[in-house]
Amino acid sequence: MYDFGRTVIAQPSKHSMPIPPTALLAEVRKPAILIVDDAPDNLGVLRSMMLREGYQTFVANSGERAVDIALRVKPDLVLLDVVMPGMDGLEACRRLKAHPATAPIPVIFMSARGETEDIVAGFDIGAADYIPKPLRMEEVCARVRAQLRLRRAHASQGFQADRLRTIVDSMDQGLLIVERSGRIQFANPACERHVGYPPHVLAGRNLAELLDGVDPMESRGTREVNIRCRDGELRAVDLSMTPLHTADGLFVALLHDITHHKQSEDALQRAAMLDPLTQIANRRQFDLVLDKEWQRAIRSSQPLSLVVLDVDHFKLYNDTLGHAAGDACLQRVAQALEQHAARPTDLAARYGGEEFVLLFAETPADAAARLADAIRLSVQALEAPNPRSPTSPWITVSVGVATIVPTQLDVIENLFVCADRAMYAAKAAGRNRVVTTVLGAAWDAVKSAGQPAVT
């Protein structure tokens, strides 16, 4: 049995009827009141009244006993007499408020002292209310109910605040509270994973400092941005800016790391631009780069050269050695071509079948002719056997070159047509050679003659 002051709580014996769990839960949820008074009559009356109100009750007849019981049972409210021998109510309240476990418990003073300084002293110590004696029981019950409602409201608010804090701290997304000026007021722990800065370092900084040339306040909604991390790395994130519906003009900024998504997207884009067999650029990438370099050449008035080549007698090669050997041969040819596309603006691509193209920006006709012949010789130097070729015992290529300084009046398709015709002219002239032509004033002559000059 446990004795808390004058209230005795008996534990059920093993012969007692079992108590339903719901009944136990209801009992636990009853508010607990600690009544402290050195007058037995007052204790008895108050205890009976609190029991009728449905509260659990604990009683103490001294300040020392009240502090001891409060630390053990953590009541929901303390009704505390001020004038008591030994430790009075003021000192008992001071000790309760000094201890973290009992500090949140509301204390209602009961006292015959009604002077203003006594009431003020009670509130200064931390009392929640002050009831003058003699007590009016209906008033006591009303004040107790009011304080318990406040306590439940505060507890609920504290629970919700703790729950919200747990949610925010557990988020994968970085969450920032940002002022209209862009200044960061708050950052959750996930922000450190996104940008490398701990929350206390982010607070006070301007969000624009972290973004790569983007004003975070210029638009709302979600957009993809690059954010500069603590180590200087730029990381792709989705940034969402949402205004809080408050008068202080705050915004919630969410950071969602899309680095892996971007890497996968970039990998897919690269794969879409590569020929799967030779692993050099495919026709799609060639068309895109040709259009870009064509426009750049128009602006700069610089020459643009295109090389088109075809593997000689490749059908005979496939028929003799098989398609697997043919695939391996095309891979070796592609590697040889790639070595000649040395500058960032150069491009070697497989155009289709055994046909390849190379694009050289800012390259005049004579330099393009030299490059084309070096390419032809590098393929021949592979010494890939072509047993049935009437041209050479090795794999060879026929090469056509076209050069132009384009203007707005020129048509981009003519560059490829001219280079393609030059390549067929090389085949007609005996294969394993280079034929070059220059577009512009010579284009009309090329069209009328039908055959570029062999070089």
pLDDT the model gives residue 10:
36
Q: What is the mean pLDDT of the chain?
A: 85
CATH of 273-449, one of 3.30.70.270, 3.40.50.920, 3.40.190.10, 3.30.1950.10: 3.30.70.270
Q: Cα(first)–Cα(last) distance of the chain, in Å? A: 115
43 pLDDT more than 70: yes
Residue type, 329: C
CATH dotted code for 172-261 = 3.30.450.20
Mean pLDDT of 199-220: 83
Element housing 434 (H / E): strand 434-438
pLDDT the model gives residue 442:
41
Catalytic residue among 354, 355, 362, 383: 354
Q: Which CATH superfamily is domain 2-166 in?
A: Response regulator (3.40.50.2300)
Domain residue limits, the chain: 2-166, 172-261, 273-449
pLDDT digits (tens, 9 = 90+) for 81-111: 999 999 999 999 999 999 999 999 999 999 8
pLDDT digits (tens, 9 = 90+) for 402-448: 999 999 999 999 999 999 999 999 999 999 999 999 987 444 444 44
pLDDT band at 141 (very low <50, low <70, confident <90, very high): very high
247 pLDDT more than 70: no
pLDDT band at 160 (very low <50, low <70, confident <90, very high): confident
pLDDT the model gives residue 16:
44
User: Where is pLDDT greater, at 20 or 167?
Assistant: 167
Beta bridge partners of 274: 281
Please state whether the predicted TM-score (pTM) of the whole model is above 0.75: no
Q: Strands, E, within 112-162: which ranges?
A: 129-132
**DSSP characters over 213-259:** S--TTS--EEEEEEEE-TTS-EEEEEEEEEE-SSTT--EEEEEEE-H
Q: Is 115 a catalytic residue?
A: no
Mean pLDDT of 102-122: 87
Please, how many CA atoms are within 13 Å of residue 116, restricted to the half-sphere of its CB?
A: 0
185 pLDDT more than 70: yes
pLDDT digits (tens, 9 = 90+) for 262-301: 666 666 676 678 899 999 999 999 999 999 999 999 999 9
